[in-house]
């Protein structure tokens, strides 16, 4: 027995001596050749070591190499995919006999890694590999742990770090290139059941980013069990923290809380190379927090708290990528939404300070509709179900009350429902449907508005101060087409507008009737003129882009106004007739719009951006000339006729005092010279 132990001891000593002596007996050049051959066989790439190379196998397997490089994919302009100044690896031998991996050091000094995608979309990190020989040993039922002979029992990492690294990503298809420089990374792992950490920093776009990862129990992660982890990313432009647990690898499960902050969205976007072109001063501080849940390709962000500038809100969001097309679902509730910080400043000059159109600011913008195809392919990019509720919205001076919008996008069909809209003491609702499931897209829209105060909303929205009253409206529209021009040409629909108990500011229609020859020329009265009305309403029908309105009416004491005509939307022209009439009636709302009286119509014709507005005196004279006696009678004292024209007309008609007058036959008779009398009526 003693001789047996002596023999075994001698064998062990010989083995140790042999292991220690190998590096001295085998030339390093031969070892390098064998190593480079093995790498070439495994990857199809060439490994070169131009500096010192060292190898020892006991009491630890240690490799040191300087000036190491791995060749790039064939056809690349850069010779090497990986280069590093120094490589230091030390692995203890004896713990391996017990299934333990103890790495004393794994150090990469100044590594440079090039990740490149060529013009055909092939990444250089895809390498040719040799044919692996199937293993005769069946895999352990417990996934490689649990004490089976040769199974991994534990891992311990000593000095594991990367110093002053550099990573370049280049896409030759787009010309994009990103560079991570000054990469420093250190890993601490006493054991698979002990706390572990990763800490480091990197420079990107001239700014340093610090990263820390702290976990507990790496064995649980390797065995597919949940394990606590904390992640923090700190930089000048963005800070991120995650505190939760991770379960990997398949399927990936993540649960925890996430907090993302940025002092300025604009500066963050500029730093990432995507500067914000939007005007205004907004997009400053940003804060987002909530709970994160990941289930393989399904992601959820719940109990979210969002703050951008002075905007704050809460919501829940989910994204499912499992079907190939992203499916998004969310609910977001915001407080007061002031959009003014995100709008360009208003331009000085023009009517009420409004921005000037191109025609007034310089060269005229080209008129007409565009034939450029409208790209609606984005409606097929994802499916969306999103609900937005806002306590209030402010755009310039326009103030919108509590509002709710529901958006559903499904396989190219977009439906947006305005479920709630509070607006200047009124309410509105509506919907729009854009269907791009067929070759030619269709659009349908409905909208209704009731009880809105016209004067303040028109003033706040467009600095328009010409109409006051309580407004209600409704319309339905539908069209189809692949360009702006086609959509306008194929537009069909109908609608109605009504204003009650209001006024038209800046014009006195009664004065126009009394003195039609000067009412269109006299600007001295300015905005002091007003035409009160009890009702202003009308309906319209659109057929193939031609808007037809035949029943616009204004009802006011002593005044009736009719409007009728057409607007050719494809040609952008208007042909409209307004018929104001003074009547002997004090009824306003509910009065007869066709009551007899004195009427001086005027016409609005021509291109709608420069229409011609002028009185139709020929029609007015013709109507009075047909029956001047009745015209005077219908006035009923509503009009104070200037000068002695009234008396002259009466005499001409054979009535009143002062004799029969010129051409009188002593009774009712037509005016011998109606033209002369009408000239006197209009002040000539």
Domain ranges of the chain: 495-539+546-627, 641-684
* pLDDT greater than 80 at residue 629: no
* pLDDT greater than 50 at residue 447: yes
Q: Mean pLDDT across the stretch 504-527?
A: 57
Stated pTM of the model? 0.72
| Exposure on the CB side of residue 472, measured as CA atoms within 13 A | 7
Q: Which residue has the higher pLDDT, 416 or 277?
A: 416
* pLDDT greater than 80 at residue 628: no
**420 phi and psi, to 5 degrees?**
-150, 135
> Nearest-5° angle of CA 645, CA 646, CA 649?
85
pLDDT value, residue 528? 65
| 312, 335 Cβ separation under 8 angstroms | yes
Maximum Cα–Cα distance for the chain, whole Å? 167
How far is 647 from 455, CA to CA, in rounded Å? 43
pLDDT, one tens digit per residue, over 63-122 is: 899 999 999 998 888 999 999 999 999 988 888 878 888 999 999 999 999 999 999 999
Q: Collapse the DSSP code of 440 into the 3-class scheme (helix H, G, I; strand E, B; otherwise coil) and give the result.
A: coil
Closest CA to 413 of 442, 387, 374: 442
Mean pLDDT, rounded, of the chain: 80
pLDDT, one tens digit per residue, over 576-626 is: 999 887 765 545 444 455 545 567 788 999 998 888 988 876 666 666 556
Q: Which letter does DSSP use for residue 457 in this model? A: H
Q: How confident is the model at residue 152 (pLDDT cuts 50, 70, 90)?
A: low
Q: Mean pLDDT across the stretch 146-167?
A: 79
Share of the chain above pLDDT 70, in %: 74
* pLDDT greater than 80 at residue 150: no
Q: Collapse the DSSP code of 649 into the 3-class scheme (helix H, G, I; strand E, B; otherwise coil) and give the result.
A: helix
How far is 617 from 600, CA to CA, in rounded Å? 7
In angstroms, what is the C-alpha Rg of the chain? 43
pLDDT value, residue 352? 42
- Structural tokens at position 25: 């007996």
pLDDT value, residue 359? 43
Q: Using CA atoms in the order 515, 520, 521, 527, what is the torsion angle rounded to 10 degrees?
A: 100
Instruction: Classify the C-alpha dihedral 73-272-386-243 as positive or negative.
Output: positive
| Terminal-residue alpha carbon distance, the chain | 149
pLDDT value, residue 469? 92
Closest CA to 379 of 448, 437, 321: 437
| 103, 93 Cβ separation under 8 angstroms | no
How far is 651 from 659, CA to CA, in rounded Å? 7
* Location of structure tokens 């939404």: 337
């Amino acid at each position: 027995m003693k001789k047996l132990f002596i023999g075994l001891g001698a064998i062990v000593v010989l083995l140790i001596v042999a292991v220690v002596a190998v590096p001295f007996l085998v030339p390093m050049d031969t070892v390098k050749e064998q190593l480079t051959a093995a790498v070439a066989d495994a990857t199809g790439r060439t490994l070169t070591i131009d500096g010192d190379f060292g190898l020892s196998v006991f009491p630890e397997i240690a490799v040191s190499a300087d000036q190491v490089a791995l060749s790039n994919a064939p056809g690349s302009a850069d010779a090497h995919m990986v280069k590093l100044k120094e490589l230091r690896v030390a692995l203890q031998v004896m713990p391996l006999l017990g299934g333990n991996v103890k790495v004393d050091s794994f150090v990469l000094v100044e590594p440079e890694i090039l990740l490149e995608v060529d013009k055909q979309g092939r990444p250089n990190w895809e390498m040719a590999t040799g044919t692996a020989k199937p293993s005769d040993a069946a895999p352990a039922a417990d996934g490689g742990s649990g004490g089976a002979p040769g199974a991994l029992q534990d891992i311990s990492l000593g000095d594991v770090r990367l110093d002053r690294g550099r990573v370049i990503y280049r896409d030759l298809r787009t010309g994009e290139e990103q560079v991570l420089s000054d990469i420093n990374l250190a890993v601490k792992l006493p054991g698979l059941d002990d706390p572990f950490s990763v800490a480091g920093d990197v420079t990107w776009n001239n700014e340093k980013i610090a990263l820390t990862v702290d976990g507990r129990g790496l064995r649980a992660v390797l065995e597919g069990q949940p394990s606590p982890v904390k992640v923090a990313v700190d930089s000048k432009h963005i800070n991120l923290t995650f505190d939760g647990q991770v379960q990997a690898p398949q399927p990936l499960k993540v649960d925890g809380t996430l907090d993302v902050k940025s002092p300025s969205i604009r500066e963050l976007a500029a730093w990432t190379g995507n500067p914000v072109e939007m005007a205004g001063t907004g997009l400053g501080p940003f804060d987002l927090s909530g709970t994160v849940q990941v289930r393989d390709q399904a992601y959820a962000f719940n109990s979210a708290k969002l703050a951008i500038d002075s905007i704050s809100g809460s919501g829940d969001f989910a994204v499912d990528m499992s079907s190939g097309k992203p499916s998004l679902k969310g609910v977001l509730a915001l407080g007061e939404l002031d959009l003014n910080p995100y709008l360009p400043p208003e331009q000085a000059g023009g009517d009420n300070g409004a921005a000037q159109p191109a025609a007034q600011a310089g060269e005229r913008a080209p008129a007409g509709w565009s034939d450029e195809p409208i790209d609606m392919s984005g409606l097929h990019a994802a499916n969306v179900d999103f609900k937005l509720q806002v306590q209030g919205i402010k755009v310039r001076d326009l103030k919108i009350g509590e509002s709710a919008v529901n958006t559903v996008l499904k396989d190219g069909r977009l439906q947006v429902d305005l479920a709630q809209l509070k607006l200047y003491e009124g309410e509105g609702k509506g919907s729009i449907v854009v269907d791009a499931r067929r070759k030619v897209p269709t659009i349908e829209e409905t909208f209704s508005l009731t009880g809105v105060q016209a004067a303040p909303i028109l003033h706040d929205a467009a600095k328009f101060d010409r109409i006051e009253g309580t407004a209600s409206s409704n319309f339905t529209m539908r069209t189809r087409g692949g360009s702006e021009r086609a959509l306008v040409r194929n537009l069909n629909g109908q609608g109605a507008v009504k204003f009650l108990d209001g006024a038209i500011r800046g014009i006195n229609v009664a004065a126009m009737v009394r003195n039609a020859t000067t009412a269109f020329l006299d600007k001295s009265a300015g905005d002091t003129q007003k035409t009160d009305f009890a009702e202003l309403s009308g309906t319209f029908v659109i057929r193939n882009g031609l808007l037809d309105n035949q029943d616009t009416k204004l009802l006011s004491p002593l005044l009736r106004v009719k409007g009728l005509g057409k607007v050719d939307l494809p040609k952008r022209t208007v042909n409209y007739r307004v018929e104001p009439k003074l009547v002997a009636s004090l009824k306003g709302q509910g009065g007869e719009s066709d009551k007899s009286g004195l009427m001086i119509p005027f016409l609005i014709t021509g291109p709608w951006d420069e229409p011609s507005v002028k009185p139709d005196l020929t029609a007015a004279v013709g109507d009075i000339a047909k029956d001047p006696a009745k015209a005077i009678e219908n006035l009923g004292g509503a009009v104070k006729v200037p000068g002695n024209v009234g008396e002259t007309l009466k005499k001409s008609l054979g009535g009143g005092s002062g004799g029969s007058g010129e051409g009188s036959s002593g009774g009712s008779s037509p005016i011998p010279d109606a033209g002369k009398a009408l000239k006197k009526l209009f002040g000539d």
